[in-house]
Amino acid sequence: MHSPRTRSLERFRLDGLRALITGAGRGLGKACAVALADAGAEVVIMSRTASELENLRDQIKNDGGKAEIAVCNAANADQINEIIPDLGRLDILVNNAGTNIPEAFTEVSAANFDAIMNLNVRGAFLMAQAVVKEMLKRGHGGSIINMSSQMGHVGAPNRTVYCASKHAIEGLTKAMGVELAPKGIRVNSVGPTFIETPLTKPFFDNAEFAKDTLARIPLAKLGQVEDVADAVVYLASPAAGMVTGGSLLVDGGWTAR
């Protein structure tokens, strides 16, 4: 007989579930794919770059996991609507693909505004919509996890468009969570602080920026991709069965000030 503690830990397992992770070729998406596979999920890893996906697929399989590849531009509606129905059952979506172009508010071009909003908001919306349609068609519940940011809860200089896009994701998450709850589909967001990834590394080459950023994090350290991936596993799992329409902040206390 299992002890209560063992049963509790088993609620974090994802055996028999199938998860799609967008932007999975590197950084947070890659870490989420590895963590979900480690927890027992069969993962479908998606990005625009086949070579990165192939390397990740091989890594996951070598570690005893199950993975397959889906090459897709997560901002392209035609590609999304063509590929998602062909992927079969999906129980979990990690809506992770995103971008940022830090610049002063008065310097933001229409092209950069469109690039950020098209991927971070429109693409995320369309990806979730396509996956939810398939969940409903197959008549099963699931978990949608939108990758947000602490910047979906606060403001910051040189990040007006990024903040706007992540605040939009927070609103989308709440509304989806309420609307889809009767269908057994949970929707949550994860809000990381600055995480050490290839995307953020150039920012921290600036010593003044690095010092200021660490001073704003009460835990006084940058996050690691595993910190975010573990939060995603929790929200995907039966352990989070009563959690929907919320945001799990992995921000070291940034937004608590």
Q: In what order do the strands lie in the sheet with 66-71?
A: 66-71, 42-47, 18-22, 92-95, 142-147, 185-192, 247-250
Q: What percent of the chain has pLDDT over 70?
A: 98
pLDDT band, residue 201 (cuts 50/70/90): confident
Catalytic residue among 61, 133, 137, 162: 162
Measured in degrees and rounded to the nearest 5, phi and psi for residue 238 equal -60, -20
Quote the pLDDT of residue 128. Answer: 98
Q: Rg for the chain (alpha carbons), in Å?
A: 18
Question: What is the SS3 assignment for 218?
Answer: coil
* Threshold 0.85, pTM exceeds: yes
Classify residue 212 by burial, with Cβ atoms within 10 Å: 0-12, 13-18, 19+.
exposed
Give 99-128 pLDDT, tens digit per residue: 999 999 999 999 999 999 999 999 999 999
Question: Contact, 216 vs 222, CB < 8 A?
Answer: no
160 token code pair:
């007006």
Catalytic residue among 30, 66, 133, 166: 166
Quote the pLDDT of residue 196. Answer: 86
pLDDT band, residue 227 (cuts 50/70/90): very high
pLDDT band, residue 1 (cuts 50/70/90): very low
Q: Which domains does the chain have, with CATH numbers?
A: 11-198+225-247 (3.40.50.720)
List Cα–Cα distances, 110 to 106, 117, 164, in angstroms: 11, 11, 14
Give 135-187 pLDDT, tens digit per residue: 999 999 999 999 999 999 999 999 999 999 999 999 999 999 999 999 999 99
Strand duo 247-250 + 92-95: pairing: unpaired
Quote the pLDDT of residue 124. Answer: 98
State how far the Cα of 38 lies from the Cα of 65, in Å rounded to an integer.
7
What residues pair up with 250 in beta bridges, in sequence order? 192
Is 137 noted as a catalytic residue in this protein? no
Is 221 noted as a catalytic residue in this protein? no
Examine the pLDDT at 6 and tell me if it is beyond 60.
no
Q: Which amino acid is at 241?
A: G
State how far the Cα of 152 lies from the Cα of 192, in Å rounded to an integer.
10
Classify residue 15 by burial, with Cβ atoms within 10 Å: 0-12, 13-18, 19+.
exposed
